[in-house]
Amino acid sequence: MPSPDPQPSAGVHPSGVALLVFLFTTGFVLMGFEMLGSRYLNPWFGGGITTWASLISVVLLAMMVGYMGGGTIADRSSGLAPMAIAILAAGLNMLAVAIFADAWMESILGLVGDGFWGVLTGSMILCFLPVMCLAGLSPYVVKMLLREVSHGGRITGLVYSVSTAGNIVGTLATTFWLIPTLGTRSITRIFAAILIVLAFGLLAQSWRRGRAMAASIALAAVVTANQIGDARATTQSFPASYPEGPLWIGDTLFYAEMTADRVSRIEAGTRTTFWSEPGCGPTAITEYGEDAFAIACHLAAKVAIVSRSGETTNSITHGVDGRALRNPNDINSQGGGPVFFSDPGPFDASAPASGRVYRLDGAGTAHLVHEGLKYPNGVAFDASQSLLHVSEHLAQRVWSLQLNQRSEVTASRISMDGAIRFPPGMVPTPYVGPDGLRLDADGSLYIAIYGSGFVFHLKPNGEYRHIRVPMPFVTSIALGQDRIAITGANTNTTRPYLGHVLVVDRETFETSDMIKP
């Protein structure tokens, strides 16, 4: 009896193998980009469960729409052009995210707020289009590979398994290797470059014999290698609501966000809220003893004492002389030393010089150190010389006050005067002046020049340099072991006075005259 006719093979022919490799790559990018989406949302909306719930919901919605759309198009077309267009759209969208994400999130925050609708809108703008386009590839590839209806289940399972394998590898590689190594925007640009190159490879040549695919993968590899070589960014940027008074403790950065009534914390590139109190308007945080922080509540006219776990334990509202605090501004213990804070009074160039500086003792008592200043702002204490540096913002100068053991001023001198040695060509306004101050281990004084977009670096020998930063209303800096943080607002006229926290490696900061975000 003759043998029956052999059934068509369910195996994948060479072009099918290339399709599956292609699908694995796009699956990798799809889920890797979802992990990046959380990094773009985190600085604006936090990293809590509501942010993740919104992001995951948007991704699932986009995949659902992509599956339906891809399947519909697959029934009407059989060429490579629809795939190429979908991939190109995803790549261009990712490129736009790398460039414009902060501007988009800032607009959303101003229009919708940082609640449910804000984070949901942000997730939609960031992720919906690219995830939808890439998800739509799977049903399209199923249709291209399907030769026999009887093999439909096997082909469909294979396609979605390969795509999911790419998702898994993309999630793990992006989270545990790419983000710590390259940074969010660099990875986004790399993903965009891969997709754009592959899309043009599909458009440029036919699929026959896999030549176009091989050329596209090779070109994508070259582009990716170049991107990785250039991606070693030395600056990280975290959006914030009028950030001030940063503090490094090891590798953790704390900073105040006045218009958000919170103190935020950045650990391993993720922002969380450490402490918040409605109406506080915090402007600085510093260490207070071994187990607490002191936070200047600028709007609530007090200094809050907060435990390391973020619980408020005390509030200081008056000095030892009985006078009420008005608007504590900077507060600094310079690595666990005496705590000093400024109480500047009205930010008005025509107002009397009524600003004060206090020392906060271990019992929670504020002792007057100096007064009669025109809006004192930043404070920094040099314990080796018993010198307290105080910026007198509206007088555009910095004082160095010699203190005795009782923190009484025995002598004073102006260490930076008058025009603050403005950079050439800069025209100062009445409200431009020295804001936050910090001392380095070598005695160098770093001064944030509010309203100028510059940090002034004054060395012990009198040499100085100007370091331009992208925020015009730069408020303060914090000096870490290997990194430096710079805080500032982009505007001081429109609430919530959005700005950024820049984290810069020391080598870049100490050798560059311009810090880019």
Environment class of 385 (CB within 10 Å of its CB; exposed 0-12, middle 13-18, buried 19+): exposed
Least confident of 212-221, 385-394, 468-477: 212-221
pLDDT at 9: 40
Determine the Cα–Cα distance for residues 207 and 198; give it in Å rounded to an integer: 12
Ordered DSSP codes for 33-102: HHHHHHHHHHHHH-SSHHHHHHHHHHHHHHHHHHHHHHHHHHTT--SSHHHHHHHHHHHHHHHHHHHHHH
User: Residue 377 has which token pair?
Assistant: 């702002």
- Please say if the pLDDT value at position 4 is more than 50: no
Is the pLDDT at 320 greater than 80, yes or no? Answer: yes
- The rounded distance, in Å, linking the Cα atoms of 501 and 43 is 10
> Of the candidates 457, 494, 501, 445, which has an alpha carbon nearest to the alpha carbon of residue 475?
501
Read off the tokens for 229: 């070589």
Confidence category of residue 185, pLDDT binned at 50, 70, 90: confident
Tell me what the mean pLDDT of segment 197-217 comes to.
60
CA distance 426 to 217: 50
At residue 6, the pLDDT reads 38
Interval 202-224 mean pLDDT: 53
d(CA 256, CA 253): 10
Residue 119, exposed/middle/buried by CB under 10 A (0-12, 13-18, 19+)? Answer: buried
By percentage, how much of the chain surpasses pLDDT 90?
41
Are the CB atoms for 53 and 121 separated by under 8 Å? no
Report the distance separating Cα 174 and Cα 31, nearest Å. Answer: 9
| pLDDT confidence of residue 10 | 41
Of 36-40, 179-183, 478-482, the range with the lowest mean pLDDT is 179-183
In sequence order, which ranges of 385-516 are alpha helices (DSSP H)?
506-511
Q: Measure the CA angle with vertex 455, ends 404 and 489; round to 5°.
A: 110
Beta-strand (E) ranges in 289-382? 292-297, 302-307, 312-316, 331-332, 339-343, 355-360, 366-373, 376-382
Length, in residues, of the chain: 517
Alpha-carbon span 198 to 212, nearest angstrom: 9
113 pLDDT exceeds 50?
A: yes
253: helix, coil or strand? strand
CATH architecture assignment, domain 14-230: Up-down Bundle (1.20)
CA proximity to 454, closest of 439, 476, 480, 472 = 472
Neighbouring residues of 455: CB distance < 8 A, sequence distance ≥ 6: 446, 447, 448, 449, 466, 467, 469, 474, 477, 486
For residue 314, the SS3 value is: strand
Lowest mean pLDDT, pick from 276-280, 284-288, 464-468: 464-468
Give the tens place of pLDDT for each residue, 399-410.
999 999 888 999
**pLDDT at residue 16 tops 80:** no
Domain chopping of the chain, boundaries: 14-230, 241-511
Average pLDDT of the segment spanning 368-395: 93
pTM flag (> 0.75): no
Give the domain 241-511 fold. Neuraminidase (2.120.10)
Q: Is the pLDDT of residue 491 over 60?
A: yes
